[in-house]
Amino acid sequence: MKRVLIVDDDFLVRTYLKQMIAWEEHGFYIVGDAKNGQEALELLQHDGADIVIADMSMPIMDGIELTRRVKKVSPRTHILILSCHDDFVYVKEAMKLGIDDYLLKNNLTEETLLEALNKISFEAEESSDMERLALIGRKKLQEDFFQAFDAGNDLDKLADLANDADLRTTFQTATALMIIPKNWTGREQLLSDMERENFLSAFAEMTLNACKNTFGDKVSPMTFVSRKDGFFHWCLIVDADNARGIAERLQAFAKMYFNLELKIFPSPPKKTFAELSRAWHKLYEARTNSFYSDAKILSAEDLPPLEIKIPDELKTSGGGLVEALSYIDEDFSIALNSFRERLLVARLHPEILSVFIAELFSEERNLLPSPLQAENFSSWFG
């Protein structure tokens, strides 16, 4: 049923309107009535309404000003104006403010009122359906765009996909930031599907607020989530070049609101989505190359590629550690620390390191887990 609020300074008119038709039989019900626009706004904010039937001329706040205020605080609320004035000036002003219909009190009957209400109700449902379909369609188009952006394929088509999704296609300067919440995998396993969706929504809102807090309303940030190699990556695209500034603000906000530490990789500033997509893929490499770093904000340019060749010194240290498995705890601890230091110097790629560890401790598989499951060296080795 559509909720209706009646607003008129004349008590008899309000009573007459409430008794004029069998409201609920026709799909409407009265949520309340008010004697002026100010009272109506208070009721609207407290109880809400789908349709407001309001007199044009009232003390304190008339129908024109009420319409202006309603359209600001509740733009989806529909307004039917009643008046004794057959005056084009009133009609023109009311229509300009966005009322849905206008009836003269002298011509008001059950039939004319129902006709106006049904027309508003039908148009509201039609508009709502169209908006819902448009929203679903736009969301799907944005998902298609972000999948292409993340995949790095058909970069020549990215601008067209962005345009179809109603996204900006060029920038004066823009940055992509890869955001990785620390220890997220463990925390996510404790959440239900609904709790996870609520977190993602809240995290997205926090991200947008951090951008506005840093740059003001002049920016139009975009976000999406990517899962690659078993990791959670949050992508933020913001049309500004102060990447470190927004990264630091995100760190502070995440700690304040979610007690989360973030690892953030900002890209260099770019001017098109194709350039940003290429930069985004270099951030995946940077995330891997940051395995031995505990820094919270890292640039791809500052992270050299990891080694793929196992040095002889590390093989020797690893062999010594295997032999030390039969030693007393103190001797084993010394061998383990020595092996750890050798690993930090060698800076092996996690995939090479994973194979090396699996072969080295083939009979003691529980000694060290696979580094591919770890966020960085410290969380893997301790």
Tell me how crowded residue 358 is: count the other CB atoms within 10 A of its CB. Answer: 12
88 has a pLDDT exceeding 70: no
Query: How far apart, in whole angstroms, are the C-alpha atoms of residue 69 and residue 295?
Result: 50
Query: How far apart, in whole angstroms, are the C-alpha atoms of residue 33 and residue 31?
Result: 7
Give the pair of three-digit tokens for residue 70: 């309603």
- Condensed to tens digits (0 to 9), the pLDDT of residues 36-69 reads 999 999 888 888 888 999 988 888 998 889 988 9
Confirm if 300 and 282 have CB atoms less than 8 A apart: yes
168 has a pLDDT exceeding 90: no
Q: Say whether 41 sits in a helix, a strand or coil.
A: helix
**Is it true that 2-128 and 170-302 share their CATH fold?**
no
Give the domain ranges of the chain: 2-128, 170-302, 312-381
Q: 224 has which bridge partners?
A: 235
Q: Say whether 325 sits in a helix, a strand or coil.
A: helix
Query: What integer best gives the mean pLDDT of the chain?
Result: 84
pLDDT at 6: 95
- Condensed to tens digits (0 to 9), the pLDDT of residues 263-284 reads 999 999 888 888 989 999 999 9
Collect contacts of 23-29 with beta carbons under 8 A, ≥24 apart.
26/114, 26/117, 26/118, 27/1, 27/2, 27/121, 28/1, 28/2, 28/3, 28/4, 28/117, 28/121, 29/1, 29/2, 29/3, 29/4
pLDDT tier, 221 (very low <50, low <70, confident <90, very high otherwise): confident
The CATH number that domain 170-302 falls under is: 3.30.70.270
Query: How far apart, in whole angstroms, are the C-alpha atoms of residue 196 and residue 189?
Result: 9
pLDDT at 188: 79
Stretch among 24-28, 129-133, 227-231 having the lowest mean pLDDT: 129-133
- Condensed to tens digits (0 to 9), the pLDDT of residues 93-137 reads 777 777 888 888 888 899 999 988 988 887 656 555 555 545 556
pLDDT at 126: 54
pLDDT at 366: 61
pLDDT at 311: 93
- Condensed to tens digits (0 to 9), the pLDDT of residues 179-220 reads 988 877 777 788 888 888 888 888 888 888 888 777 776 667
Residue whose C-alpha is closest to residue 240's, from 254, 252, 250: 250
Residue 131 zone, left/alpha/beta (φ > 0; ψ -120 to 50; rest): alpha
Burial 155-166 (b: 16+ CB within 10 A, else e): beebbebbeebe
CATH class of 2-128: alpha beta
pLDDT at 118: 87
pLDDT at 113: 92
pLDDT at 89: 67
Q: What is the mean pLDDT of residues 361-375?
A: 73
